[in-house]
Structure 1
């Protein structure tokens, strides 16, 4: 978690400096669209500050009240960030609509464009850095902050193009039109973050993680792992929790079952960067499993193996064994 704190502090400090630069550009130009970009920078700073707090909370060890840890606070952090972005977008649209009716003079567009272009470039580089670190450190908070900064960079690029168009045409009303367009784009970006946070808070299955897990299970699959089904994945901060049913030969004793289950757990934790907590329910095999069982030396086989069942996201997530109708 110390690495995450360091990264988010870099984001926070940079955000404050860029916010000051954008407000400087606004005071130089009096451009409503530049004010829009500067207002979003306030959201960047507030979001980074809350992200730092959420990473601190997520690092706290499990306790009696939080047996799964505190990792879900990161989803709450993303929800706050997305909500702030949406609110900023709405305020921007109202302010821009007012200035469209009551226009004002705009000055020093070239100087303002240079400042905004510089802040946009820095935001894009910082956003790329945060996203790359989010994959290394398995942090949705860093990912959300990085995506937000890159969105801000795209907004700045569009803003610079619009300011140059205003400079060349002399049509000052385009400033408010551009600002309204940016406002809608900001709202959409905020919605995507809120949607992602709600899915995490509601324990929506992490499909990307599930597919990664299934790929690893297929590549390291033992013959004794006859079947796997009812697989569910959830992410709690940097930790992944997986529930599944594993079908093993019914004649295995309890020690052998424990050994096989532990081997699945150890294999997965050695292959991925996240900490994975497995809850594996062991099922005994039944005669209907024989036609896809890979155990050549099985002493109780009722029929020869006739097909191979490759585990996929479609069949492993179902709560049933793979009988004759499955492939």
Structure 2
């Protein structure tokens, strides 16, 4: 069954939290850059703009994903969250390109830095905000099975590590007097951002291409089905996919041909309910088949082994 409408507004509230955090960190980081002139801090501030744009887009996609199934979208709209993840990955790549464009010339023409102490404190404050919000979003993403929240949480954690790298670079400048270290750290930050952007875009493409459920979910499905085998059921052609917060399962259930139809369909209802209980949000399609349609093909091989 799809996630209930009561859970999806919760995802919207968490995206608003991300938007507020992005606005706060943009103000802190721009102030730090303005005071110090550090290209490393500028690179950090540019990524916070990416956080803001991504969070606004994620908000729209979470709202779309919460819409119930309709005539044109019988399986719902949950895949909309993958567009958010892909869009965020694209913005990250663009931000990385902008950072490289700004930082590389500074490697050969370093600029003096000013008021580093205040700049470092402002950066530390913005890092604390991002860390706290990332942890909140990560927990919410797991509870609500939200691809958009998961992407936002991972991006914010990347921002945390980015800020830590910038601070380390500035402290190294203070300790050594080597101004080029500021630009060098900015280049490393850009490369790290490129890797995260690629990962997010790959995940979005995988979701839109109907990748199977992860191994942990498949193990749960097999465990549920195994519990029904002693009752004379056989299973075949298990297929799964994930669409945003929704999980989709399809399996053929084979029963002896002399079983009553109503009793057989009652078992199908039990299987679907058991899967939904173990995998919240799972939508299961079961197809009933007579076991005899398959077993006669195996009978000669069984007889050969017996002989």
TM-score by length of 1: 0.84
Aligned to 2:137: 130
User: Looking at both structures, which has the greater relative contact order when contacts are Cα pairs under 8 Å and sequence separation is at least 6?
Assistant: 2
Aligned to 2:3: none
The alpha carbon displacement at 1:2 in A equals 1.3
The match for 2:282 among 273, 276, 279 is: 276
User: Which range is displaced more, 235-244 or 12-21?
Assistant: 235-244
Alignment of 1:183-198 (within 5 A): 183-198=190-205
C-alpha offsets along residues 103-157 of structure 1, whole Å, 9 cap, x if unaligned?
A: 2111122221221122112212211111111111111111110011011111111
Give the distance between the partners of 2:262 and 2:233, measured in 1 at CA: 18
The match for 2:48 among 41, 53, 60 is: 41
Contact 2:207–2:244 at 8 Å: present in 1 too?
A: no
Contact 2:54–2:87 at 8 Å: present in 1 too?
A: yes
Give the distance between the partners of 2:221 and 2:213, measured in 1 at CA: 11
Give the distance between the partners of 2:15 and 2:232, measured in 1 at CA: 42
The alpha carbon displacement at 1:190 in A equals 0.6
The alpha carbon displacement at 1:287 in A equals 9.5
User: CA distance change for structure 1 residues 270 and 49 in 2, over 3 Å: closer, same or farther?
Assistant: same
User: CA distance change for structure 1 residues 109 and 212 in 2, over 3 Å: closer, same or farther?
Assistant: farther
The match for 1:260 among 241, 261, 267 is: 267
Alignment coverage as a number of residue pairs: 294
Aligned to 2:87: 80
The match for 2:126 among 99, 119, 127 is: 119
Structure 1: give runs of 5+ residues left out of the alignment. Answer: 291-302, 304-323
Give the distance between the partners of 1:289 and 1:125, measured in 2 at CA: 58
Give the distance between the partners of 2:291 and 2:199, measured in 1 at CA: 43
Alignment of 1:49-68 (within 5 A): 49-68=56-75
User: CA distance change for structure 1 residues 217 and 112 in 2, over 3 Å: closer, same or farther?
Assistant: farther
Give the distance between the partners of 2:233 and 2:207, measured in 1 at CA: 31
Contact 1:224–1:249 at 8 Å: present in 2 too?
A: no
The alpha carbon displacement at 1:238 in A equals 2.1
Contact 1:224–1:248 at 8 Å: present in 2 too?
A: no
Contact 2:69–2:76 at 8 Å: present in 1 too?
A: yes
Alignment of 1:282-297 (within 5 A): 282-286=288-292
Matched residue SS, 1:221: helix
Aligned to 2:36: 29
Matched residue SS, 1:250: coil
Calculate the aligned-residue CA RMSD, in Å: 2.3
The alpha carbon displacement at 1:289 in A equals 6.0
Contact 1:225–1:246 at 8 Å: present in 2 too?
A: no
Aligned to 1:316: none
C-alpha offsets along residues 180-231 of structure 1, whole Å, 9 cap, x if unaligned?
A: 000000000011000100000111112243233223433x334135332322
The match for 1:141 among 148, 172, 175 is: 148
Alignment of 1:223-238 (within 5 A): 223-224=230-231, 226-238=233-245
Give the distance between the partners of 1:136 and 1:221, measured in 2 at CA: 28
Structure 2: give runs of 5+ residues left out of the alignment. Answer: 1-7, 297-301
Do structure 1's residue 177 and structure 2's residue 184 form an aligned pair?
yes
Give the distance between the partners of 2:123 and 2:58, measured in 1 at CA: 25
Give the distance between the partners of 1:212 and 1:284, measured in 2 at CA: 25
Contact 1:110–1:164 at 8 Å: present in 2 too?
A: no
User: Which range is displaced more, 182-191 or 116-125?
Assistant: 116-125
Give the distance between the partners of 1:54 and 1:211, measured in 2 at CA: 30
